[in-house]
Structure 1
Amino acid sequence: MENEKSQVDMCEKPNNDSKSSLKSSDNSNDHSTVIVPPNRVLLYGTTAFVSLGALLFGVISTIIASDTWLKEFGYPDSGVIGAVVSLFDVGCLFGALSNAWTAFGVIIQTFAVHIAMMIIGRFILGFGVGALSGLVPLYQAEIAPAHIRGRLISIEQMVLCFGEMIATWIDYGFSYLAPTLPIWWRIPLGIQIVPAIILVVGCFYILPSPRWLAEKERWDECLSVLTRLHGTEAAQIEFRQIQETIKMERETSVGSYAELFNRRYRKRTLIAMATAGLQQLTGTNSILYFAPTLFGKAGLDQQASFLATGGVGIVLFVTSWIPIWTIDRWSRKGYFMVGSFVMMLAMIGIAVTQAMTELHPNIIGNAGNVIVFWPYLFYTAFNITWGPLAWLVPNEIMDITMRAKGNALATATLWLCNVGVAQFSPMIVAKINWGLYPIYAGINFISIFLIYFFWVESANVPLEEMAALFEGIPRESRTAA
């Protein structure tokens, strides 16, 4: 996509030009006589392809907890481990570059011979992944019909979980080579370059976003893409909505970041940022980063810990299919609150189990089976609710001219919170051990009330009706208008 400056310049063009463009596009519609049916294969295929960016997430998460990795880098302290983990997230925070950085970061990580090389590689890799994490759900939201928007964005979560599952089982398989192949951990890291290369090539062939085309006044192309994806009848209706929305927003908006915090957008901006940030503060990455260590404290040996972590990967992938079929059938707020409640229970379960093993060391062997259950329960709830919704909601509640900026701010908030979690979790665990998990339980408890009182229900609402939704206009009036 072109940079945001061009979007702002476009928005500042005189209204007369905008009106003439809209008028000419309306006239071209009168000559459209060919009825094109919706192309679901193209829609789902495009959505799945761009989701390949999610395969790049989190491969190193289990690597850094392995004895082989720790030995290779001289058993670094918790602060250094936190830096290795969090510098990836810092890179994501500033990630507005291309996939070429992704491949470059993978190469540096894979061939790292010093902890500094690993940190630099993680940071550079984060640039590419940070860009993808914002652009992929933004693009998916803009090509999706309203009634299956949640389903299509949930596909990214499914692909992400597939990547994590593959990564955990590759880690498990290669861990058996640790005595004879001390550098086994480099192989899973190097595998990340495959989806990066595929994405670089494939980006030349995917359809452009119809709403991005509309912003650039490429109206014929916009209608053509909508027709190919949604069929003639739905495309004509959606095209008119986009035209009206663009016209209204050009008259009332300049498209700046400062505008995100004015009266019109402030509530949506805060919801988007809070949704993204709270996803990371549920505790999801703290469990995933240190799952082998968590299982080891319950009496599982290294191989059994990797096996249990591989089980987490299976749970993630299997449960990621559930929101694809259900997320657009129920309310967004209900999903959020149920997920927070179950994750709160899981965090309490982890804390209690770990505390019991410390107080009664003789039960450590039996505690292994119990402590495995709680992360599985946590990720089942997370993957059905907060996992996909934190990428979906910030992208669906913003207007066309502010969507890219609002989503960028929400994504930056997500990675900023991830930086804090990744940097400080190892140090907190080193100080208070299982005391970290009640903190996460409290955050999940508080989020239930935040969602109930402050979030706005956005399920199945067309993107062009979000402004009216947040202004409190009834659905019937919005549709009539």
Structure 2
Amino acid sequence: MGLSGTRLGAFRAYFFGYFVCTAGFLFGYDTGIVGGILEFKSYINDFGYKDQTTVSAVMVSLQNVGAFLAALAIFSVSERYGRKKTVQAAMIVFCLGVVLQVVPSHSLACFYIGRFVAGLGLGAGTAVVPAYNAEMAPKEIRGKLGSGMQWLFALGVMLSYWIDYAVKITLPVSSKQWQIPVGLQMVPAGVLGLGLCAMPESVRWLAKKGRFDEAWESLKWMRACEGPEVKAEFNEIRVGLEEELRATEGFNKRELLEPANRYRLLLAFFMFCGQQCTGMTALAYFGPQFFKLLVGNNTNQSLLITGLFGAEKFITVGIYILFFSEMWGRKPTLWISALSMAGCFIIVTVVKETTPAPDAKATPAGIGMVAMIFLTNSIYQFSWGPLPWPYTAEIFPTRIRAVGTSVAVSTQWLFNFLFSLVTRYMMDSWGSYVFLFYAVLDIIMAIIVFFFVKETKGKSLEEMETIFHSRAAFDVDAVRRETLDADKFKVHNKSVDYS
């Protein structure tokens, strides 16, 4: 599907969409950095612990708890102060948390507090950015831009793996070996926070607040045009908001329990729950530990494989976003990929349980299992990795989008917390059967998608009301045609009254 408008407008749409997804980069980098530094003797020596399983579980889960709480509560801040200021504040909090982690305290308690504080900023940022992005994106490429959260996530994971590997083999055993990877997180956080100063506020948030002049200026800047199509889009936004207000007469909690909104909230919960149930986020956190199960107890080798795993993640999700995200429907992509991942995990489990255990050297069976995990990763990056981000942001009406995305992303962090907390213990107790556990979850997800998920590709945010049979549904095509027809004969100041 082509993107109408000017080349400058297209550039701004892509630039803005991927720039705000820097929050996804932070998420990915932080996710990937943990498994590597836990393998460093320098980190173990500085903090003086022996129970690595407990420390790794607590380190990951504490940040996820902070992120969950922030993502769940941030919608009220975002609704009051706007998407832009909320993301900037979140980046400040995140940086404070990183500082607490890298100070030479030699105290696990201080490091844990830093993880929790950074989690607050990370959770807030990742909850607001999908809504911010969706509210600014042209409908033709909304899926492509929203999926940028996963692409930047994959980039963050990849870089974190290679940075871990680089400092492990090039630096002597010292505090710098783990402080450098952790401290580098402040760079993208600072870039996002400061860079937003030059970006406009959300068009739909401004319109919802009755600031129509500012909303029009924001939309004009984003589209780099003020022609008939842009005027029609703006009028569609205004009429959509008016219909929402007419149908609900002011926001209240009971509105969330209306059939259409309740259905959307359940879908949002399911999408991010499903993303974590694939098992791929657990692999991202504990890649080196997972690959030791397959290739033996060789730290450098497992770190190298993990680095290649991260590179594959970034490349495959990029291919999907650039070439297939607006070609394939959301629904078939999700259920077919879930069944495919289940098949791969079953094969890994069977091979692992029917071949000799690897030592420090790779075996043909070990290489085959690693290849199968890489294939599973590719399938995930073409489906459950990127799709929940745009899908959960686009299905909600403007009035409750902040609440909806908060519920969705907080679900992501909740199950991220649960799986990161139990995965290390599952690996210790079950060994390769942990892959079979995730295969069963994938099959369940495929069934739910097939029967309950609705297709949204190519639809405007206002058209979602019709798809979900909301009381605020209206004839979007009629409104669009009316504006376009009127603009054929009138100049801008007479065609649409923005006062």
Which TM-score band applies after superposition, normalised by the shorter structure?
0.7 to 0.9
Question: Is 1:85 matched up with 2:60?
Answer: yes
1:476 CA displacement: 12
**Please, what TM-score do these two structures have when normalized by structure 1?**
0.87
Change (3 A) 1:187 1:360: closer
Question: What is the match of residue 245 of structure 1?
Answer: 240
CA distance in 1, matches of 2:386, 2:204: 22
1:197 CA displacement: 1.3
Question: What is the match of residue 157 of structure 1?
Answer: 150
CA distance in 1, matches of 2:269, 2:68: 13
1:356 CA displacement: 3.4
Pairing of 1:64-79 with structure 2 (within 5 A): 64-68=37-41, 69-73=43-47, 74-79=49-54
Change (3 A) 1:363 1:121: closer
Change (3 A) 1:351 1:70: farther
1:78 CA displacement: 2.4
Q: Is the 8 A contact 1:275 1:394 kept in 2?
A: yes
Question: What is the match of residue 14 of structure 1?
Answer: none
CA distance in 1, matches of 2:186, 2:394: 31
CA distance in 2, matches of 1:208, 1:129: 20
CA distance in 2, matches of 1:360, 1:47: 45
Equivalent position amino acid for 1:398 in 2: F
Residue-by-residue CA offset, 1:67-119 (whole Å, 9 max, x unaligned): 42445442324233211111111111122462211001111122352222222
Question: Is 1:263 matched up with 2:259?
Answer: yes
Q: Is the 8 A contact 1:106 1:190 kept in 2?
A: yes
Equivalent position amino acid for 1:437 in 2: F
CA distance in 1, matches of 2:448, 2:478: 32
Change (3 A) 1:37 1:418: closer
Question: What is the match of residue 312 of structure 1?
Answer: 309
Q: 1:275 aligns with which of 251, 271, 278?
A: 271
1:352 CA displacement: 2.6
Question: What is the match of residue 139 of structure 2?
Answer: 146
Q: Give ranges in structure 1 of 5+ residues lacking alignment.
A: 1-34
Equivalent position amino acid for 1:440 in 2: Y
Q: 1:291 aligns with which of 287, 294, 305?
A: 287
Question: What is the match of residue 15 of structure 1?
Answer: none
Residue-by-residue CA offset, 1:170-211 (whole Å, 9 max, x unaligned): 111111146543641221001001111112212222111110
Q: Is the 8 A contact 1:177 1:184 kept in 2?
A: no
Counting matched residue pairs gives 446
Q: 1:452 aligns with which of 450, 453, 456?
A: 450
Q: Is the 8 A contact 1:273 1:410 kept in 2?
A: yes
Equivalent position amino acid for 1:247 in 2: E
CA distance in 1, matches of 2:360, 2:192: 51
Equivalent position amino acid for 1:287 in 2: L
CA distance in 2, matches of 1:390, 1:103: 27
Q: 1:228 aligns with which of 215, 218, 221?
A: 221
Question: What is the match of residue 491 of structure 2?
Answer: none
Change (3 A) 1:287 1:280: same
Question: What is the match of residue 80 of structure 2?
Answer: none
Question: Is 1:101 matched up with 2:100?
Answer: no
Equivalent position amino acid for 2:398 in 1: I
Determine helix, strand or coil for the equivalent of 2:177: coil
1:340 CA displacement: 0.9
Question: What is the match of residue 200 of structure 2?
Answer: 207
Residue-by-residue CA offset, 1:237-269 (whole Å, 9 max, x unaligned): 111111111111112223334422222311111
Equivalent position amino acid for 2:261 in 1: Y
Q: Is the 8 A contact 1:55 1:192 kept in 2?
A: no
CA distance in 2, matches of 1:275, 1:362: 39
Equivalent position amino acid for 1:125 in 2: A
Equivalent position amino acid for 2:279 in 1: G
CA distance in 2, matches of 1:113, 1:354: 39
1:36 CA displacement: 7.5
Pairing of 1:57-456 with structure 2 (within 5 A): 57=27, 58-68=31-41, 69-73=43-47, 74-95=49-70, 96=74, 98-111=90-103, 112-177=105-170, 179-181=172-174, 183-230=176-223, 231=225, 232-253=227-248, 254-297=250-293, 298-299=295-296, 301-325=298-322, 326-357=324-355, 365-456=363-454
CA distance in 1, matches of 2:279, 2:383: 14
Determine helix, strand or coil for the equivalent of 1:386: coil
CA distance in 2, matches of 1:44, 1:264: 31
**Please, what TM-score do these two structures have when normalized by structure 2?**
0.84
Q: CA RMSD in A?
A: 2.4
Q: Give ranges in structure 2 of 5+ residues lacking alignment.
A: 75-88, 480-499
Q: Which moved more, 1:391-400 or 1:427-436?
A: 427-436
CA distance in 1, matches of 2:40, 2:167: 13
Q: Is the 8 A contact 2:33 2:157 kept in 1?
A: no
CA distance in 1, matches of 2:68, 2:25: 18
Q: Which moved more, 1:287-296 or 1:395-404?
A: 287-296
Identity %: 30
Q: 2:460 aligns with which of 454, 459, 462?
A: 462
